[in-house]
């Protein structure tokens, strides 16, 4: 029986350890995820400005792992300018600007260390990948790649070849910028391996890959997210950020059998495997046996350092799978260690080192105490890395065989296996989660959404094919050019976790750490159909076919805004001064704009049609004042809108409302907290501008400002997932809202029908659940007595830049409310 109670799991993370001389009584931290040590999503407006560095990083060429050059590679890394404000310095840790010089010096120590620039962060800082291994000729590198590909195909490699295969290990450091010490531990271990004679055998049989700091922006700035405001450990299956795309490519290219993600801070040190629910698309029998075994080895190594609660404020290791009931799960593949198994990692772990040095501790504790804690944290993280490479060396044949078996089951199209109870001590019925794989998925071609989804699948190393001949599947006829995802492929788990609808796991657990539903098939705008049997003559796809289209002729053109890319194209046209009218959900362009239309059709893949009778209001470029979260700012800018952040503080300081046509409110703007001058200025804007709101902060603003006549109702605060609307469309909710008591000026644009996948329980008093939301208005629109046009979202159409098929809802709201 796992011991931690649900009450403990839901308590706030108490991360202790005072000074060595006068420490308060240490308290162990429960195994509950850290939501970021900051305000709740709807309480603080992001003031992230759009920067040239961020735009350059977004457009940067993807990381390329050279599979032909030998090792060592002796790359001389460029040195960034010194930054004395780097937050790492206070802790006695290495600042980002010193990492390149350190890596250059480590490469010079011998022939074991190779460093390269992996990519650039959102803020334009270099990401560094270090490979530590015994020297290899170019021919030996090519052989390693051939063996890796054979393993990925699911074919066992002969014993003699297996002895030559270098088992890959991937260590990811500092993905949360203010959880610093994984970087320093990695550098310590690299230096040990570079110089130790005892490491020779290890390095002949393994390759160790270190992403030195996955989040250099956060490291420098002392913040959890990157400079775009994104938590990178929530971005793996969305890959909106360049850092996440770099990590993804490393895992695809290196195919590690074991993966560590070094975090902080939980006391005692938390080492996965996790509590239930467990991801249903893993080969969990293979995963849990290896991950638990390595977890136990790391526990022994960390506890063996000799740190104690009384002397150091450090408690013994906790393993959530063994020691907790729920609340630290591996259900969603948004986290790096939960994404890695789809690329073959049969042992993958989050490691939470023990002593907090961020948040209020960073600000308030003496420097000497902070540095004491960081030294201990570095020791703990380094011990976990050493234990892992020792485990891999001792168990390499089993790990390689189990990785091969993961891929073999997928390639063979075998049914998902139910994990036997007791496969490891404590594995019970509460741990059993499984899925049913279809024969394949069919994605009709020809739309920007379909092309985006196909390219995303390919970027994740999912195999996609294109039908050469017409075929029938699931009782439906499909033409040539249709995309198909045959589930008989090595990475079928990743294909399925993206394309299946998901499951409503509300009945099985009370508390989840983060999102529980994410279906790309339902949220990314493409039509996706699962079929039991897939028989089609098809060819492999390297990239989606172009979808842009402008009809022949010389008449006016229409563009229906049904996707975020349609909004991108329309905003590009508006920025060029093209005359546009807007009606309903469609923009109309004059015949003189055909050349510009062809250009944006090619660039964004959008499809124009012949316009009917001209009508609608003239549409100008829409300028947005946004009191919004960072992911929403990013998404609005990605769609090409001009966005200026605003907040209560900025409004009270004299915000210039003349620079805005529409106000977007979801975070950090309180009408009630405005001073008289700010309130008067905003009221003047509301008499001529539009308003779009989202969530609880938006609903409160609507009421306080006297806009639409609605009564907002809050669902359970941690509810999240995919919902179906009464229209048949799908949406996404996170702390959902709905609206009752609609006034005569208010129209329900969308209403909840059913919950599809995720986690949504009612509150203890029975309110706020799925049943209460059914049939209620989720999105409303109207016009107040001043003439302000308003749209209110109770859903989350831009959440973490993920539900891409919903972005157009926001774009249409912005166009329709602007005047």
CA distance linking residue 569 with residue 586, whole number of Å: 13
Q: Does 72 sit behind a cis peptide bond, omega within 30 degrees of 0 on the bond before it?
A: yes
At 27 the pLDDT is 66
pTM over 0.85: yes
Token pair recorded at residue 262: 């070094």
Which structure tokens are listed for 669? 């703007």
Cβ-based burial of 147 (10 A; exposed 0-12, middle 13-18, buried ≥19): middle
The pLDDT, as a whole number, for residue 10 is 30
Residue 599 Rama label (left phi>0; alpha psi -120 to 50; beta): alpha
Please check whether residue 696 is in contact with residue 714, taking contact to mean a CB–CB distance below 8 angstroms.
yes
- DSSP element (H, E) containing 730: strand 730-734
Q: At what angle do helices 367-394 and 181-195 cross, to 10 degrees?
A: 50
Q: Which residue has the tokens 């890319």?
A: 565
Contact call for residues 196 and 135 (beta carbons, < 8 A): no
pLDDT in tens, 660-692: 999 999 999 999 999 999 999 999 999 999 999
Are 324 and 265 spatial neighbours (Cβ–Cβ below 8 Å)?
A: no
Tokens 């404590």, located at residue: 426
Burial of residue 415 (CB within 10 Å: 0-12, 13-18, 19+) is exposed
pLDDT of residue 61: 56
* pLDDT of the residue at 48: 73
Q: Write out the H or E segment, with its range, that includes residue 682.
A: helix 676-686
Q: CB of 282 within 8 A of CB of 492?
A: no
CA distance 518 to 270: 26
H or E element that contains 456: helix 448-459
The segments of the chain whose pLDDT lies below 50 read 1-25, 33-40
Q: Tell me, what DSSP letter sits at residue 728?
A: S
- Specify whether the CB–CB gap between 761 and 506 falls below 8 A: yes
Q: Around Cβ 758, how many Cβ atoms within 10 Å? A: 27
pLDDT at 66: 78
């Amino acid at each position: 029986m796992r011991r931690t109670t649900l009450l403990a799991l839901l308590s706030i993370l108490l991360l202790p350890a005072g000074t060595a001389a006068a420490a308060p009584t240490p308290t162990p931290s429960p195994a509950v995820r850290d939501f970021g040590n900051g305000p709740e999503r709807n309480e603080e407006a992001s003031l992230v400005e759009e920067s040239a560095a961020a735009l350059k990083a977004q457009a940067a060429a993807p990381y390329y792992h050279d599979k032909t050059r030998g090792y060592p590679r002796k790359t001389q890394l460029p040195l960034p300018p010194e930054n004395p404000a780097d937050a790492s310095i206070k802790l006695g840790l290495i600042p980002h600007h010193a990492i390149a010089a350190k890596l250059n010096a480590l490469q010079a120590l011998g022939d074991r260390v190779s460093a390269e620039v992996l990519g650039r962060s959102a803020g334009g800082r270099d990401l560094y990948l270090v490979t530590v291994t015994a020297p290899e000729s170019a021919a030996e590198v090519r052989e390693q790649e051939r063996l890796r590909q054979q393993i990925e195909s699911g074919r066992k490699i002969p014993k003699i070849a297996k002895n030559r295969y270098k088992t890959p290990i991937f260590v990811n450091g500092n993905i949360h910028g203010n959880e610093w010490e994984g970087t320093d531990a990695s550098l310590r271990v690299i230096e040990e391996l570079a110089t130790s004679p005892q490491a020779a055998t290890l390095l002949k049989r393994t390759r160790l890959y270190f992403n030195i700091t996955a989040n250099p922006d956060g490291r420098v700035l002392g913040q959890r997210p990157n400079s775009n405001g994104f938590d990178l450990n929530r971005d793996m299956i969305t890959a909106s950020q360049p850092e996440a795309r770099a990590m993804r490519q490393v895992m695809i290219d290196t195919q590690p059998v074991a993966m560590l993600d070094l975090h902080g801070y939980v006391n005692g040190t938390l080492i996965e495997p996790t509590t239930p629910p467990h991801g249903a698309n893993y080969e969990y029998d293979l995963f849990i046996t290896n991950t638990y075994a390595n977890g136990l080895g790391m526990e022994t190594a960390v506890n063996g350092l000799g740190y104690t609660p009384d002397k150091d404020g450090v408690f013994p290791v906790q393993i959530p799978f063994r020691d907790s009931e729920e609340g630290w799960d591996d259900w969603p593949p948004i986290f790096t260690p939960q994404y890695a198994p789809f690329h073959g990692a049969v042992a993958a772990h989050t490691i939470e080192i023990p002593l907090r040095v961020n948040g209020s501790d960073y600000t308030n504790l003496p420097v000497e105490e902070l540095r004491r804690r960081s030294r201990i944290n570095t020791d703990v993280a380094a011990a976990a890395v050493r234990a892992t490479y020792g485990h891999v060396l001792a168990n390499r044949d089993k790990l390689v065989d189990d990785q091969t078996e993961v891929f073999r089951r997928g390639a063979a199209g075998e049914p998902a296996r139910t994990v036997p109870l007791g496969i490891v001590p404590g594995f019970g019925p509460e741990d059993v989660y499984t899925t049913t794989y279809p024969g394949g998925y069919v994605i009709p071609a020809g739309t920007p959404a379909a092309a985006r989804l196909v390219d995303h699948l390919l970027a994740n190393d999912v195999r996609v094919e294109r039908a050469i001949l017409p075929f029938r599947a699931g009782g439906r006829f499909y033409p040539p050019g249709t995309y198909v995802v045959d589930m008989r492929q090595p990475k079928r788990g990743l294909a399925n976790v993206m394309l299946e609808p998901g499951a409503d796991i509300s009945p099985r657990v009370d508390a989840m750490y983060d999102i529980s539903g994410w279906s790309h098939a339902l949220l990314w705008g493409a039509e996706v159909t699962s079929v039991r049997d897939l028989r089609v003559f098809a060819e492999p796809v390297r990239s989606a076919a172009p979808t842009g289209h402008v009809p022949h002729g010389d008449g006016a053109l229409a563009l229906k805004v049904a996707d975020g890319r349609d909004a991108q194209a329309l905003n590009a046209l508006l920025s060029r001064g093209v005359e546009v009218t807007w009606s309903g959900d469609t923009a109309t362009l004059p015949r003189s704009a055909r050349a510009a239309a062809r250009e944006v059709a090619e660039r964004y893949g959008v499809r124009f049609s012949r316009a009917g009778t001209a009508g609608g209001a003239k549409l100008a470029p829409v300028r947005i004042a946004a009191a919004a979260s960072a992911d929403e700012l990013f998404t609005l800018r990605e769609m090409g809108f001009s966005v200026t952040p605003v907040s209560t503080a900025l409004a009270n300081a004299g915000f210039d409302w003349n620079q805005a046509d529409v106000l977007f409110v979801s975070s950090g703007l309180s009408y009630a907290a405005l001073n008289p001058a700010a309130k008067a200025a905003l009221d003047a804007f509301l008499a001529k501008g539009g308003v779009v709101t989202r969530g609880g902060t938006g609903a409160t603003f609507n009421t306080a400002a006297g806009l639409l006549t609605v009564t907002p109702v809050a669902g359970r605060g941690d509810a999240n997932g995919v919902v179906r609307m009464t229209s048949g469309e799908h949406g996404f909710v996170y702390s959902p809202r709905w609206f009752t008591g609609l006034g005569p000026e208010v129209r329900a644009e969308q209403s909840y029908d059913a919950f599809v996948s995720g986690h949504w329980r009612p509150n203890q008093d029975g309110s706020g659940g799925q049943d209460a939301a059914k049939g209620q208005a989720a999105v409303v629109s109207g016009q107040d007595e001043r003439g302000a046009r308003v749209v209110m979202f109770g859903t989350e159409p831009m959440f973490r830049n993920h539900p891409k098929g919903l972005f157009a809802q926001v774009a249409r709201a912005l166009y329709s409310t602007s005047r």
